[in-house]
Chain A
Amino acid sequence: MNLEKVVFGFFIILALTLNFGFFIGEFDNPAHHNVYELFAVIVVNLIATVLKFGDRTQMGALLLAASLVADLQLLAAAVVWAYAQHVSGTGLDSMVMGSIVSLAGGAMLANIVSVVLLIIETVNLRR
């Protein structure tokens, strides 16, 4: 067992599970989507991205790309949230919540890709 691999897998899977936790719930109901959870998803995703830096394999490149996509989507969701609450003054209505959750849903897809790739790589190791 390799501690580095444990940490790596931990963050990638945690990013997916947290993302799922934020995503699940009534789609446009602000009460079902916790801002702390979104914060946690963003932080864990950023950490997972940095962990993937510097891997020169094809698999590493794809993992990094998936993570960057997830980061982009999640940051967009956070910006939409902050804009709705502090700038536009509309507050978290169902439309804004809908777009935040759908952005997070897109990020979840990217995270699923990451986890699937991780599993494929592990299966290929055969040891």
Chain B
Amino acid sequence: MDKVIFLFLRRMRAPLLVLIAAYTIAVLGLVLIPGVDDEGQPWHMGFFHAFYVVSYTATTIGFGEVPHAFTDAQRMWTIVSIYLSVIAWLYAIGKILTLLQEPAFKRAVVEQGFARSIRRLHEPFYIVCGYGDTGSLLVRALARRDIRAVVIDRNPERIDDLELEDMDMYVPGLCADASVSAYLTLAGLLNRHCRGVVALTDDDEANLKIAITSKLLRRELPVICRAETRDVQNNMASFGTDHIINPFDTFGDRLGLALHSPGTHLLYEWLTSVPNMPLSEPLYPPHGKWVLCGYGRFGKAVHESLAGEGVETVIIEADPQRTGCADRCVIGRGTEAITLQAAGIEDAVGIVAGTDNDANNLSIVMTAAELNPKLFMVARQNRHDNDAIFKAARLNLVMHRSEIIAEDILAQLTTPLLPLFLQQARGQSNDWANEVISRISAVTGDVVPEVWTLTLDAREAPALLHTLVTQDVRLGEVMRDPREREQLLPCIPLLLQRGSDVRLMPAEDVVLRSGDRLLFCGRNGVADHMGRVMYNGNVLRYVLSGEERPDGWVWRALKARD
């Protein structure tokens, strides 16, 4: 606020002084020069009339000579004052216009507007640094879940994109370097509604700086970071960054998961997708020889996880020296039939096109499909705006890096227990995952289920806590419809966390305790019903016992008398 006004005042000092001086000279001259009134008597113009005349002359309005016709001496002075004052005005207006155009001033105005919109946020929000592919996906997904975000990005074009984007809610964006702590503070790091910081810039150093800044200024705030090298990853972990995402590892890991336990992979997909979208189909990648095109950071991660599954892979790489696979790969890009044949595409069962060029990836899978139509085709999608062509290519599996990371972060932010559940699920067998999937689809039909966390504390479940003091309540008893208790709510408890004890798929006869944290998935809107059961004592009593008691002081008093 202050900055803009002070900048304006300071810059306007000279023009205002010039204006005052010009007016003073012009007015003083008119007052001092003797004139003649209508009767020919000598007359001196007063300050009032002089100021009047100068005011309309200076602004080029010009009413004429008042109150009496001027003498020649007065006219001479008027000529001087016209040029003097009009030029002074032009100078002042010119200065104002230049000031408004000045980058420093514009920037001050933008920052001020941004800071004001942050101050006006009276609900929880997350700071997202970096509005690239991943950042924009994340912000959009957050907005769809009614969670506010504030964006900082160094690239002005991306901030323009944000402003043009048709979002469900207003997302303030600032074009600034997020690794500068002043801008992070401006974006609301110290605001009490700030719930977390997500650093997604494509610069590891910047992400590191953002994480340090956030952790130093707000110890308790969760920080999620993207890091591309192990080095930075370890560095971030050393000062307590809550979650670090290495896009390549995450990505290779997910592909490995899809290959060795498709059920678990599907579970991941279902639980982390945006609710109410159609469910994705289960995949059954074949076992046998795989061809892997591109041995960059992504390719290495994929290779590692495939090797971990004991799958035989043949690598195709255009620059084996640089990527360090000179002794065991086919040299080439993979876009030509010869290279693919050299890699033995005819007897392979699958192909992974994992270069960092979307056009090449599509070309690879299409060439490969001509050589061997039965291939299981996996391609890496680098850019979000290539969605349409990747869809048209009808691949078995598209690994969209930004999407995977965005979903991962979204799960971290919105349902803190979900990552724990998924991690535990990794330890289970594929059959276990398949069973969970069939249970989920039985409850939610063919749309993505909603996933929510319930903490049995005074804020989320006051009514239940009250009841737990006097009687035992089992999990199955509260999962009932508050409108008709015979009906079970269409939801499934996925996880129960009690202190350090974690239980996957808790049974319905588990006795609830204060402080328990539960993860549910279920049909859209069920979370609200359950919230009512937990919150409202009367609803809870009805759900537990079927008893509908009159409420209100008078009714309770009457009831007590009976």
The interface-forming segment of A17-25, A43-51, A97-105, A115-123 is: A43-51
The reply to whether the CB of A27 lies closer than 8 angstroms to some CB of chain B is: no
Q: Are B24 and A43 in contact (CB under 8 A)?
A: yes
Find out whether the CB atom of B48 lies under 8 angstroms from the CB atom of A54.
no
Q: How far is the CB of A81 from chain B (nearest CB, A)?
A: 8
Interface string of B317-361 (1 = CB under 8 A from A): 000000000000000000000000000000000000000000000
Query: Contact at A54–B20, with CB atoms within 8 Å?
Result: no
When the two chains form their complex, are residues A56 and B6 in contact, meaning their CB atoms are under 8 A apart?
A: yes
Query: Is B86 an interface residue, CB under 8 A from the partner?
Result: no
| A126 interface contact, C-beta 8 A | no
Q: Which of A49-103 contact B (CB under 8 A)?
A: 50-51, 53-54, 56, 78, 81-82, 85-86
Question: In the complex, which of the residues B7, B13, B27, B48 contacts A51, with contact meaning CB atoms closer than 8 Å?
Answer: B13
User: Is B47's CB under 8 angstroms from A39's CB?
Assistant: yes
The answer to whether A54 and B47 have CB atoms under 8 Å apart is no
CB distance from A70 to the nearest CB of B (A): 15
Are A53 and B47 CB-contacts (below 8 A) given A39-B27, A39-B28, A47-B20? no
B531 interface residue (CB < 8 Å to A): no
Q: Are A85 and B46 in contact (CB under 8 A)?
A: yes
Q: Are B28 and A54 touching (Cβ within 8 A)?
A: no
Contact A50 B24 (CB under 8 A): no
User: A32 CA to B454 CA in the complex, in Å?
Assistant: 84
Q: Do A86 and B12 form a contact, CB below 8 Å, given A39-B28, A46-B20?
A: no
Q: By the criterion CB–CB under 8 Å, are B28 and A53 in contact?
A: no
B371, CB-defined interface residue at 8 Å: no
Q: Given the complex, which residues of A lie within 8 Å of B7, measured CB to CB?
A: 54
- Complexed CA–CA distance, A46 and B423 (Å): 72
B9 contacts chain A at the CB level, 8 A cutoff: yes
CB-CB < 8 A to B48: which residues of A? Answer: 81-82, 85-86
Asked whether, in the complex, the Cβ of A35 is within 8 Å of the Cβ of B13, the reply is no
Within the complex, which residue of A50, A56, A86 is in contact with B16, where a contact is CB–CB below 8 Å?
Answer: A50
Chain B neighbourhood of A54, CB < 8 A: 6-7, 9-11, 13
Q: Which of B134-192 contact A (CB under 8 A)?
A: none
* Complex: chain B residue closest to A47, CB-CB: B20
- In angstroms, Cα B10 to Cα A86, docked, is 37
| Whole-angstrom CA separation of A20 from B27 in the bound complex | 23
Interface residues of B (CB under 8 A from A): 2, 6-7, 9-13, 16-17, 20-21, 24, 27-28, 31, 46-49
Is there an interface contact between B17 and A50, defined as CB atoms closer than 8 Å? yes
Enumerate 29 A-B pairs (CB-CB under 8 Å) in ascending A order: A35-B46, A39-B24, A39-B27, A39-B28, A43-B24, A47-B21, A50-B13, A50-B16, A51-B13, A51-B17, A53-B9, A53-B10, A53-B12, A53-B16, A54-B6, A54-B9, A54-B10, A54-B11, A54-B13, A56-B2, A56-B6, A78-B47, A81-B47, A81-B48, A82-B46, A82-B47, A85-B48, A86-B48, A86-B49
A56: chain B residues at CB < 8 Å are: 2, 6
Complex: chain A residue closest to B50, CB-CB: A39
Q: Which residues of A contact B (CB under 8 A)?
A: 35-36, 39, 43, 46-47, 50-51, 53-54, 56, 78, 81-82, 85-86
A9 to B392, CA, bound (A): 77
How far is B287's CA from A111's CA once the two chains are assembled, in angstroms? 91
Question: Please, how many angstroms separate the alpha-carbon atoms of A39 and B373 in the complex?
Answer: 96
Chain A, residue nearest B28 (CB): A39
Q: Which residues in A have their C-beta under 8 angstroms from that of B27?
A: 39
Chain B residues, Cβ within 8 Å of A85: 46, 48
List 10 A-B pairs, minimum CB-CB distance, nearest first.
Answer: A54-B10, A53-B9, A82-B48, A54-B9, A50-B16, A43-B24, A46-B20, A53-B13, A50-B17, A54-B6
Per the bound structure, the CA–CA distance linking A35 and B31 in Å amounts to 11
A sample of 18 more A-B contacts (CB under 8 A), given A43-B24, A53-B16, is: A39-B28, A39-B47, A46-B20, A47-B17, A47-B20, A50-B12, A50-B13, A50-B16, A53-B10, A53-B13, A54-B7, A54-B11, A54-B13, A56-B6, A82-B46, A86-B46, A86-B48, A86-B49
A117-B47 Cα distance, complex, nearest whole Å: 32
Task: Kindly state the separation between the CA atoms of A50 and B2 in the bound complex, as whole angstroms.
Answer: 17
Interchain nearest-CB distance for A33 vs B (Å): 13
The minimal Cβ–Cβ distance linking A120 to chain B, given in whole angstroms, is 22
CA distance A39 to B50 in the complex (A): 12
Docked complex Cα distance between A85 and B464 (Å):
82
Residues in B with CB closer than 8 Å to A53 are 9-10, 12-13, 16
Q: Which residue of chain B has its CB nearest to the CB of A35?
A: B47
Q: B256 to nearest A CB, angstroms?
A: 59
Q: Is A50 within 8 A of B20, CB to CB?
A: yes
B residues in contact with A50, CB < 8 Å: 12-13, 16-17, 20
CB-nearest residue of chain A to B12: A53
With a 10 A CB-CB cut-off, give which of A46, A50, A51 has the most chain B CB atoms: A50
Which of B11, B47, B49 gathers most chain A CB within 10 Å?
B47
Is A43 a contact partner of B20 (Cβ separation < 8 A)?
yes
* Bound CA–CA A82/B13 (angstroms): 28
Closest to A60 in B: B6
Minimum distance in angstroms from B561 CB to a CB of chain A: 68
Q: Which residues of A contact B6 (CB under 8 A)?
A: 54, 56
Could you tell me the distance in whole angstroms from the C-beta of B10 to the nearest C-beta in chain A?
A: 3
Q: Closest B-chain residue to A56, C-beta based?
A: B6
CA distance A36 to B20 in the complex (A): 16
Distance in angstroms from B15 CB to nearest chain A CB is 9
User: How many angstroms from the CA of A82 to the CA of B46 in the assembled complex?
Assistant: 9
Q: How far is the CA of A81 from the CA of B20 in the complex (A)?
A: 20
A53 to B15 Cα, complex, angstroms: 12
Using Cβ atoms and an 8 Å threshold, which residues of chain A touch B17? 47, 50-51
Which residues of the other chain, A, contact B11 by a CB distance below 8 angstroms? 54
With a CB–CB cut-off of 8 A, which chain B residues contact A35? 46-47
In whole angstroms, how far apart are the Cα atoms of A51 and B48 in the complex? 26
Minimal beta-carbon separation of B21 from chain A (angstroms): 8
